[in-house]
């Protein structure tokens, strides 16, 4: 899934993989439950009050509060369960490496996303915010709308969670095709249609108008109907399963998607649609080409200067791509200053210093290191 995030750059993606590898997966219940002595120790200060459910529940609650408070005096325990294993919920602990950009793989409060990744992510999130801002509740009047900003976190989770759930379901169905049995009374629906019906059915419910108003103002979740409409209208698999016409309310042309999951271009646009778009602009080809040549930015190549390339390989690649018409070259630096100076000199000798030629250097420097290196150490090469 991380590999499909087009808004995440390579450096941030590598950090995300490290964070996932550092996370621990717990299924079922803590191991100590099987140890009678540890179990008795945990509940030694708790007594069941017969025929008094309220006092029993208060006693259990008090026990859990004391356990949590005592944990503050101890070092963090990575094996401690922070919620019941029987609770089905999207729940992550900040201490135990929650999936958030402000905490690194060690659970330390530290921003680990690059500025570029954060910028692209914010643009994606803005689409979600605006989408849900446009949902109104007619029963309350058009002045009552969903707060897209307050509900963005849960809306993102709904959209991404459903997409990954469908992916897991599809894999399971391929492995166990014989177990896909039609339900009585629902034989007219395909397995994919039933999947999305099942999702929508989870949010069936009713509430008073007063509760509706309160939820719109205070709740971090969108009202149930919009958790269905908003999520499904962003889902290509739903549109395909229910054959929703492209451009219809439940299959808009422009969808708000953080992780597309698209494997082929035809997942987003059909062959006929693509050909139609090309043909519509074919008469303007000469005009568009002329405009690009006059005002467009030159294409650049990143193939010449990966770290680890030898000097001769660097020279050869510069000559190759220069002959192909490239005038902008990107090379990696940051290994050591002597190597950086030598590599930049080789590139400049190969492509020249004339107007239009350029070298863009990138590395894992901090902002201050980049300024010093570019303005002082490498300035002579006009990078």
Q: What is the pLDDT of residues 141-163, one digit of tens each?
A: 777 899 999 999 899 989 988 99
Min mean pLDDT across 72-86, 110-124, 175-189 is at 72-86
pLDDT in tens, 171-200: 888 888 777 777 788 889 999 999 999 999
Phi and psi dihedrals of 289, rounded to 5?
-65, -40
Residue 371 has pLDDT above 80, yes or no: no
Q: Which residue has the higher pLDDT, 367 or 164?
A: 164
In 3D space, the residue among 135, 159, 153, 158 whose CA is nearest the CA of residue 216 turns out to be 135
Who contacts 66 (Cβ-Cβ below 8 Å, separation ≥6)? 45
Residue 237 has pLDDT above 80, yes or no: yes
pLDDT value of residue 382: 76
Residue 27 has pLDDT above 60, yes or no: yes
In 3D space, the residue among 300, 367, 307, 304 whose CA is nearest the CA of residue 333 turns out to be 307
Residue 383 has pLDDT above 50, yes or no: yes
Prediction pTM value? 0.57
Q: Mean per-residue pLDDT for 279-299?
A: 79
Residue 209 has pLDDT above 80, yes or no: yes
- Where would I find the H helices in 83-175? 115-133, 152-175
Residue 357 has pLDDT above 60, yes or no: no
pLDDT value of residue 267: 55
Highest mean pLDDT among 19-33, 79-93, 97-111, 112-126: 112-126
In 3D space, the residue among 306, 321, 302 whose CA is nearest the CA of residue 359 turns out to be 302
pLDDT value of residue 97: 43
Edge to edge, the sheet with strand 328-332 lists 300-305, 328-332, 358-362
In 3D space, the residue among 69, 71, 70, 49 whose CA is nearest the CA of residue 60 turns out to be 49
Q: How far is CA 155 from the centre of its chain?
A: 12
Q: How far apart are CA 383 and CA 374, in angstroms?
A: 7
């Amino acid at each position: 899934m991380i590999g499909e995030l087009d808004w995440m750059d390579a450096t941030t993606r590598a950090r995300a993989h490290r964070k996932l590898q550092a996370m621990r997966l717990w299924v079922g219940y803590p191991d100590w439950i099987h140890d009678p002595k540890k179990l008795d120790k945990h509940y030694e200060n708790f007594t069941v009050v017969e025929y008094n459910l309220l006092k029993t529940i208060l006693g259990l609650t008090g026990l859990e509060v004391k356990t949590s408070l005592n944990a503050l005096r101890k070092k963090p325990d990575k094996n401690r369960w922070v919620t019941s294993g029987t609770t089905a919920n999207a729940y992550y602990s900040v201490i135990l490496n929650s999936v958030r950009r402000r905490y690194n793989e060690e659970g330390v409060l530290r921003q680990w996303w690059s500025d570029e990744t954060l910028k692209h992510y914010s643009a994606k999130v803005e689409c979600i915010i605006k989408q849900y801002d446009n949902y109104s509740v007619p029963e309350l009047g058009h002045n009552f709308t969903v707060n897209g900003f307050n509900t963005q976190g849960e809306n993102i989770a709904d959209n991404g969670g459903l997409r990954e759930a469908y992916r897991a379901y599809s894999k399971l169905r391929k492995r166990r095709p014989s177990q896909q049995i039609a339900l009585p009374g629902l034989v007219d629906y395909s397995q994919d249609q039933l999947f999305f019906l099942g999702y929508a059915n989870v949010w069936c419910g009713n509430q008073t108008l007063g509760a509706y108003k309160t939820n719109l103002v205070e709740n971090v979740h969108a009202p149930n109907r919009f958790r269905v409409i908003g999520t499904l209208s962003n889902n290509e698999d739903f549109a395909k399963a229910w054959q929703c016409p492209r451009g219809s309310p439940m299959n808009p042309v422009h969808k708000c998607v953080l992780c597309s999951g698209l494997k082929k271009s035809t997942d987003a646009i059909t062959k006929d649609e693509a050909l139609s778009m090309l043909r519509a602009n074919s008469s303007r080809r000469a005009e568009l080409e002329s405009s690009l040549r006059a005002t467009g930015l030159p294409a650049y190549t990143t193939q010449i200067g990966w770290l680890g390339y030898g000097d001769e390989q660097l020279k050869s690649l510069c000559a190759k791509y220069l002959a192909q018409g490239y005038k902008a070259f990107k090379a990696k630096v940051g290994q050591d200053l002597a190597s950086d100076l030598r590599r930049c000199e080789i590139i400049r000798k190969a492509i020249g210093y004339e107007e239009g030629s350029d070298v863009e250097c990138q590395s894992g420097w901090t902002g201050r290191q980049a300024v010093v290196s570019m303005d002082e150490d490498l300035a002579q090469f006009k990078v």
